[in-house]
Chains A and B, each alone.
Chain A
Amino acid sequence: MITRVPLSRRRLLQVLGTGALGGLLSARFSPKSFSRQERLTPKTNISDALKHPRTAASLPGRFPARVVRAYDERSLSSDRPDVSRVEAMLARSMLALTGASTVSAAWKMFVTADDVIGLKVNPVAGKMLATSPELVHVIIRQLEEAGIPRTNILIWDRREFELHEVGFTSDAFPGIRIVGTERKDENGSFRDAGGKLYSETMIDHEWFYWADVEEHYDEETLPYMVNEGKESYFSRICTRDVTKIINIPILKNAGSSVTLCLKNLAYGSITNTSRLHRPLWHETCAEVPAFPPLRDKVVLNIVDGIKGCYQGGPAANPEFIVAFNTLLVGTDPVAVDRVGYGIILRKRQEENVQKEENPKARIFMDLAANIGLGVAEERKIDVEHV
């Protein structure tokens, strides 16, 4: 029988009966707190990560709770970043963030000529929505002007072939190593003549994110995940090859949340990730960057928001890719993510994608703040517009 339910509280209860709803009336459904202890998610080895003593270089780095937001409405030209304008935006940002008198002096606060610097980009969504090669060229040029040899710079992400697809090639970046954890040979094979995945040589078994969840992969999928089991191993690129990391995500949404600094670091640095997406997305984003190979090496976050997306992410859906004409720069990845999240949320509201904030969208930022990676409370973040 179809029942029309007039929705005043008293009438509703008359129709459905208090027994059915009594237990539900006791609490509002929106959680107000997002601490790890309160979340009923699978266990992880985050406590192991937190046992490692923090260093002076540990996140949130030199400028906690500080974010510089650079904007230039003409930073995009013919649908590509205008290099000279982006260069000026980045220069203004570096000076504002550090208070240094020159751009080179600003860079030298984070890196030295002895460092091997990994530029952690994001090519996952393809050409339309990747970290722009133009911005990376600008960063490299400013690093060189600060005395960093090109040979000490590498561009990296999980999948080498995706880097190539979006324009991070040796031809485009002569003298710079382009390297990914997962790789194919010239014949398109993930495996060498002996059947071994090339990626197996790229992972570090001494560093792993353990989580009490696992998934089995077929032959097609394994090359993208590298290993099964409850461990997600860190790439050697971040554990051994580089001494400093500059994190360069792109400004994009992931449902009503965002995939910015923390997500780019977390999911871009470890193997065996698909098992983590559904049950532990927030935990993974927050906890993986708390391991020393990331926590103690990431010196700067530069969000490429020249173009970005407010809906359809993390994949690229052209309908929702827009010119934000923005760079976000800071050492504190949580604070940068919080500012980026606000930009995307406002755009989603302007475009009527969502009316109100979904508080669950910020869980990973709260979790990251709780383990000391930065500041998630908007009111505590100092945003300078340049």
Chain B
Amino acid sequence: MSNMSETRRGKFAASWLPGVLLWIGAMAPGGSDPPLLTSEDFPGLTVKQVERFEGKALYGYIDGGAELVYEYGFTRLAVQHVTAGGEEFTLESYLMRDDLAAIGLFSVSRGGCVSADSLGPFSCRSRYQVLWASSQMFLRLINPAGSAAGERIALELARILHRKIPGGSPVLPAVLGASGLPLEECRYVRGPLGVQNGFDTWSDLFDEAGLLEAYILPGNTDNGAVTVAQAEFADSSGCARFIRRFDQGAAVHRYLWRQSPTRVVAIESVGAENSLRERIEKAVMTKQ
């Protein structure tokens, strides 16, 4: 695939919008082991080392960094060091508790990278790594040298790995699709570390509110920055706490729909964003 097709973010986003009505939590079939590369996968590929981490042993691999992974729901990790085409690569292949956990970890790990369409909607690549989430898997293929050849091979290896993953990826909530904002910017979070890593600007809003999960979609329109979010709380008092803080926020324009005692949809924007607000409201009501 050419760089051109990989970087057409607008096209990528547009391809997501139609038909997004409901959140469908599609569990991945099977897939009890994280996918790995083999010497048959790529000419001259050599597997140098494989390490596996389960349970709390993730602390042994990334120490404090493990907390974020545990917050999402971790099952096991395989780390594979390989060489191919004269380049060295490290594959981190995470099996997460569910597909949302995989997407969530992907969403707060990406940045400064462009979409890699061939790896599905939750993917991105840069000079140094390819990241993607599919089914219950979150994968990171690192090209530590950052060479052009390594970048090319990493994408090929990623595609090979991607074909080994059964099942697909879930669809984002309809209200996000209705926003018209690029969906690849969506952060899915399940706790304070996810918020800190994904959208720290809202850390205070969620602080001690019993957040269970939130989809946070920041973006820009002609009027400036806008954020659309759907959040679910453990109880109604936590939800009310969030609403109160949201009301005290600094943004000029804030809109909020309470879908249930524990769930809200919120918009925060610099401009009035009447059109966006109407689309979101329609999506919220359609869901009802």
Q: Interface size for chain B: under 10, 10 to 19, 20 to 34, or 35 or more residues?
A: 35 or more
Report yes or no: B204 in contact with A29, Cβ–Cβ below 8 A: yes
Distance, CA A278 to CA B257, complexed state (A): 32
By a CB distance below 8 angstroms, the chain A residues around B258 are 2-5, 16
Identify 20 new A-B residue pairs, CB closer than 8 A, beyond the known A7-B246, A319-B111, A319-B112: A5-B256, A7-B247, A12-B247, A29-B208, A30-B204, A125-B65, A128-B142, A220-B57, A221-B55, A221-B60, A225-B59, A256-B200, A274-B56, A277-B64, A277-B66, A277-B67, A314-B64, A319-B126, A348-B200, A360-B207
**What would 22 A/B residue contacts be, using CB atoms closer than 8 Å?**
A5-B257, A5-B264, A7-B254, A7-B255, A21-B244, A29-B241, A128-B142, A218-B54, A220-B54, A256-B200, A281-B64, A315-B62, A315-B65, A318-B144, A319-B110, A319-B111, A319-B126, A320-B112, A353-B111, A353-B200, A355-B201, A358-B204
The 8 closest A-B pairs by CB, nearest first: A318-B128, A315-B65, A224-B60, A255-B196, A354-B200, A221-B56, A220-B57, A319-B112
Tell whether, in the assembled complex, residue A24 and residue B244 are in contact, meaning their CB atoms are under 8 Å apart. yes
B-contacting residues, A268-310, CB 8 Å = 273-274, 277-278, 281
Cross-chain contact A29 with B207 (CB below 8 angstroms): yes
Q: Which residues of A lie under 8 Å from residue B247 when comparing CB positions?
A: 7-9, 12
Known: A311-B197, A358-B200, A358-B204. A5 touches B243 (CB 8 A): yes
Q: Which residues of B contact A (CB under 8 A)?
A: 53-57, 59-60, 62-68, 109-113, 126-129, 142, 144, 146, 193, 196-197, 200-201, 203-204, 207-208, 236-237, 240-241, 243-247, 254-260, 264, 281, 284-285, 287-288
A255 to B243, CA, bound (A): 24
Residue of B nearest to A159 (CB): B60
A residues touching B (Cβ–Cβ < 8 Å)? 1-9, 12, 16, 20-21, 24-25, 29-30, 79, 124-125, 127-128, 159, 215, 217-218, 220-221, 223-225, 254-256, 259, 263, 267, 273-274, 277-278, 281, 311-315, 317-320, 348, 353-356, 358, 360
CA distance A266 to B273 in the complex (A): 48
